[in-house]
């Protein structure tokens, strides 16, 4: 760095100091956390978001004990997760309607209590079929919180904040999976698999109490205010300081770049009381929404397979017990939490720089990076290297989630958020429900007897299965990058629809 005589600093020959960069990022994040609205709401929504993943992760951790106790194989165990997810997919549709028409915080409390009851009944299950039914109830409650959380988040956070906010909320889903694995592994080792579900029931009751005491219902008029500003012919003048402090990045980018809405898709009335089929037709007529749903489904299909069989794979692969495998898997999963937080921050930063398609680009690149990381992890015999590659693979896969969630709200009328998320979750989980069964079925067709190499080792079937299904991540990458061409006009259309 050169300092001239007049005191000015020239950075032409300056080198980037990584430590300075990290320090700047941490300071920026600290300033944001100090200024963030409704931090308590983010924490509570993050905890609630983790219910479905908490259950799936607990199932994955106690898989060996369940298979032994109930005399089932990989296919029977996979059916448990599949049935739970399918029930949740069906329940998300009516819950999405309620999320658009009723107070959402009481709805979240009821769903949390229902999930607690399902966990309690799972713990006392006398047979496999009883346990299957209780898992279906758990899926109905845990999965269907998604539409309610999406609707609440859209009203709590403006577009320029949503990437970071969703980063923390979606982090709750991964954190729930991590807590579930550690807790279930520890309790299962000290006691048995039934006690695991009793403990989860107690945690859900505590969450319902915290929602009741600490969560307030927001108003549903934030997007109407944005739309009013966008359509004003003579917007109110602001001072430079006001512009710097209060700038609405997504709104001003649309106005500055003269992005035109799709006139035939601008809504002419409030869709709150629309019949479900009319709402569904409108929701699925948005090109970017169809692309985002498809990409999300592909990513979550792979994620569900990892949750369902990751622990079992590690125990077979490295001959370690369930508790050790849980710790290893959760340690790698911490990369996912870092990924969701980092991607939301990066996408919002790019949005502030004027890149209106920032969320689409960040998601597409994250999907692309996931593929080599997981393939490298699956093809090493070194436990340390496998952990490192799994860590970065989890970070890349986790990075796709908050930007996808924020992008979906950007392109949808706010009074359709609940139903849109319900439809997305249903379509996603109908496909995703097949993941545990598909992973289990494919793994049984690749036993060690098929491999003639000495380094195959245990866990060969699951290793081949995880590798084959990375093709879905490539499909998600291609879909996301295609959304670059439709996303800006869909955002403008959603904003203009609020001012009718």
Query: pLDDT tens-digit profile of 260-298?
Result: 788 888 888 888 889 889 999 999 999 999 999 999 888
pTM (two decimals): 0.74
- The CATH superfamily assigned to 38-220+271-497 is MFS general substrate transporter like domains (1.20.1250.20)
Tell me the average pLDDT across 246-266: 68
Residue spans per domain, the chain = 38-220+271-497
Q: Please report the pLDDT score of residue 386 as a whole number.
A: 83
Q: Please report the pLDDT score of residue 201 as a whole number.
A: 92
Please provide the average confidence, as pLDDT, over all residues in the chain. 79
pLDDT at 121 over 50: yes
pLDDT at 60 over 80: no
Question: What pLDDT digit, counting tens, does each position of 166-203 carry?
Answer: 888 877 666 766 676 778 888 888 888 889 899 999 99
Tell me the average pLDDT across 135-162: 86
pLDDT at 370 over 70: yes
> pLDDT: is 362 or 24 the higher one?
362
Q: Please report the pLDDT score of residue 474 as a whole number.
A: 94
Question: What pLDDT digit, counting tens, does each position of 205-237 carry?
Answer: 999 999 998 888 887 766 666 555 555 544 444
Hey, what long-range contacts does 31-39 have (CB within 8 A, 24 or more apart)?
A: 32/164, 36/161, 36/164, 36/165, 37/156, 37/157, 37/161, 38/156, 38/157, 38/218
């Amino acid at each position: 760095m050169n300092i001239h005589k007049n005191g000015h600093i020239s950075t032409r020959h300056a080198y980037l100091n990584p430590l300075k960069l990290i320090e700047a990022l941490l300071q920026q994040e600290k300033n944001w956390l100090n200024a963030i609205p409704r931090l308590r709401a983010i924490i509570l929504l993050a905890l609630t978001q983790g219910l479905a993943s908490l259950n799936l992760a607990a199932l994955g951790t106690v898989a060996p004990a369940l298979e032994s106790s109930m005399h089932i194989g990989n296919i029977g165990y996979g059916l448990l997760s599949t049935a739970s997810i399918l029930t949740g997919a069906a329940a998300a549709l009516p819950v999405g309607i309620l999320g658009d028409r009723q107070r959402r915080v009481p709805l979240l409390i009821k769903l949390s209590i229902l999930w607690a009851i399902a966990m309690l009944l799972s713990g006392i299950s006398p047979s496999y079929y009883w346990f299957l039914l209780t898992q279906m109830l758990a899926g109905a409650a845990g999965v269907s919180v998604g539409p309610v959380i999406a609707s609440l988040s859209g009203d709590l956070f403006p577009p320029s904040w949503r990437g970071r906010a969703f980063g923390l909320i979606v982090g709750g889903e991964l954190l729930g999976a991590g807590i579930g694995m550690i807790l279930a592994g520890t309790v299962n080792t000290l006691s048995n698999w039934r006690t695991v579900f009793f403990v989860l029931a107690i945690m859900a009751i505590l969450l319902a109490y915290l929602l009741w005491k600490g969560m307030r219902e927001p108003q549903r008029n934030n997007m109407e205010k944005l739309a009013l500003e966008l359509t004003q012919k003579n917007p109110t003048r602001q001072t430079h300081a006001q512009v710097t402090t209060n700038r609405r990045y997504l709104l001003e980018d649309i106005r500055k770049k003269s992005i035109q809405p799709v006139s035939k898709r601008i809504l002419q009335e409030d869709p709150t009381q629309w019949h479900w089929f009319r709402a569904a037709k409108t929701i699925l007529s948005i090109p970017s929404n169809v692309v985002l749903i498809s990409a999300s489904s592909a990513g979550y299909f792979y994620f569900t397979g990892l949750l369902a069989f990751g622990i079992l794979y590690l125990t077979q692969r490295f001959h370690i017990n369930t508790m050790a495998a849980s710790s290893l898997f959760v340690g790698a999963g911490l990369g996912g939490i870092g990924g969701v937080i980092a991607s939301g921050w990066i996408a919002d930063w790019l949005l502030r720089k004027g890149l209106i398609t920032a969320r689409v680009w960040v998601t597409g690149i994250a999907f692309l990076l996931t593929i080599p990381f997981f393939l490298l992890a699956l093809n090493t015999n070194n436990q340390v290297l496998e952990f490192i590659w799994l860590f970065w693979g989890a970070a890349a896969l986790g990075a796709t989630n908050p930007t996808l969630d924020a992008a979906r709200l950007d392109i949808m009328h706010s009074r359709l958020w609940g139903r849109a998320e319900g439809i997305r979750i249903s379509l996603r989980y109908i496909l995703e429900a097949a993941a545990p069964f598909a992973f289990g079925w494919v793994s049984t067709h690749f036993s060690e007897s098929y491999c003639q190499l000495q380094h195959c080792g245990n866990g060969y079937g699951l290793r081949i299965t995880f590798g084959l299904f990375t093709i879905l991540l490539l499909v998600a990458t291609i879909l996301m990058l295609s959304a670059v061409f439709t996303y800006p006009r869909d955002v403008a259309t959603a904003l203009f629809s609020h001012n009718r």
